[in-house]
Amino acid sequence: MRIALKFAYDGQKFDGYARQPNRKTVEGELLNALITQGFIDGAKTSCFRSASRTDKGVSALGNVIAVNTDTSKERVIQELKEKIPHIFVYGIQNVDSDFYPRYAKLRIYRYYLENKGFVVDDVLSAAAIFTGEHNFKNFARVEEGKNPKRTIDAIVVSDENKFLVFDFYAQNYLWNQIRRLISSIEKVGLKKLTNKHLSDALNDPEKKVDFGLSPAEPLILKDIVYDFGFEYNKNTEQRLCDFERAIISSLSSEKL
């Protein structure tokens, strides 16, 4: 039987997501918990797979893993929900034997940008430049052989206290893409760049420019969407709200 698990984590408490020797990572802690509880024997035999390997410092409210196990999903969720410090496992579902969580319909990322007195209309117009399909070579760290074209379905911006909150909607992203987009948008808001600078960098990707990289800590993987739903624990929505508030409240002015 193959199951998918949905979980949240505070990325500031780990040395990144992907498991590494002698490092405390999100993937490593999840894998160790599954093995310790006797749900799987190891990563290889269980076909352990992750949906998104977030950068060091990046948190999540809805990342997903999948494993093969002989244990019922009811027992798995019951045993894991309070077992792993700084990780909240809250959703589970039986999936097809060939399910690979990386192939999702939609990924939603959220970024908390400290509001430094921006003119919100300037920020909104800058963000709108990036929606649709573009070559993001100048706005990402593009690995060799990887297609730099991506489609951003929408960028929704809201004003919440001392932050402007950006929600990005797309099927997939390039490495560091959102953090580079935020850095560019912030510079427009601070009058250090214009919308034309951003448009030119998109339309002429072979002319290399670098508008900077925003910090990782205010970035959260909000959710990953598939063509099926997850079974959730009681009070999950409130727990996730509390989890998100704790992540944001721990951001120091130095990190922002």
pLDDT for position 135: 97
- Mean pLDDT across the stretch 75-90? 91
Q: What is the CATH number of the domain that holds 136?
A: 3.30.70.660
**What is the rounded average pLDDT for all residues in the chain?**
94
In this structure, is residue 89 part of a structural domain?
Answer: yes
* pLDDT for 5 beyond 50: yes
- Does 7 share its domain with 99? yes
Distance between CA atoms of residues 25 and 180, nearest Å: 24
What is the mean pLDDT of the segment spanning 88-104?
96
Q: Is the pLDDT of residue 254 over 50?
A: no
| Average pLDDT score over residue span 235-250 | 91
Confidence of residue 174 (pLDDT cuts 50, 70, 90): very high
Report the SS3 class of residue 229.
coil
Q: Is 223 within a domain? A: no
169 and 149 assigned to the same domain = yes
pLDDT over 60 at 253, yes or no: no
Which of 156, 188, 203 is the last residue in one of the domains?
203
68, 152: one domain: no
Contact indicator for 84, 25 with CB cutoff of 8 Å: no
Q: Is residue 218 part of a domain?
A: no
Are 116 and 178 contained in the same domain? yes
d(CA 218, CA 166): 10
Neighbours of 211 (CB within 10 A): 21
117 and 137: one domain?
yes
Total tally of structural domains belonging to the chain: 2
Residues with catalytic roles: 55
- Using a 10 angstrom Cβ sphere, with 0-12 exposed, 13-18 middle and 19 or more buried, the burial of residue 109 is buried
Out of 103, 119, 153, pick the residue that ends a domain: 103
Q: Which residue among 53, 70, 103 closes a domain?
A: 103
Is the model's pLDDT at 215 over the cut of 50? yes
The residue whose two tokens read 């797979």 is 49
Whether residues 26 and 98 share a domain: the answer is yes
237 in a structural domain: no
Domain membership of residue 44 (yes or no) is yes
Same structural domain for residues 98 and 155?
Answer: no
Segments forming the whole domain that contains residue 7: 2-103
According to DSSP, residue 91 is labeled: E
Say whether both 94 and 6 belong to one domain. yes
pLDDT tens readout for residues 111-161: 999 999 898 999 999 999 999 999 999 999 998 888 999 999 999 999 987
Q: What is the pLDDT of residue 252?
A: 52
Residue 242 is assigned to a structural domain of this protein: no
Q: What is the pLDDT of residues 181-193, one digit of tens each?
A: 999 999 999 999 9
pLDDT at 82 over 90: no
Asked if pLDDT for residue 33 goes beyond 80, the answer is yes
| Residue 251 included in any domain | no
Note whether 145 and 197 are same-domain residues. Answer: yes
- In a domain, residue 140? The reply is yes
Same domain, 98 and 124: no
Q: What is the CATH number of the domain that holds 74?
A: 3.30.70.580
**What is the mean pLDDT of the segment spanning 33-59?**
96
- On the question of pLDDT at 90 being above 70, the answer is yes
Q: Are residues 85 and 137 in the same domain?
A: no
User: Based on the domain organization, do 78 and 158 belong to the same domain?
Assistant: no
SS (H, E, C) 181-194: HHHHHHHHHCCCCC
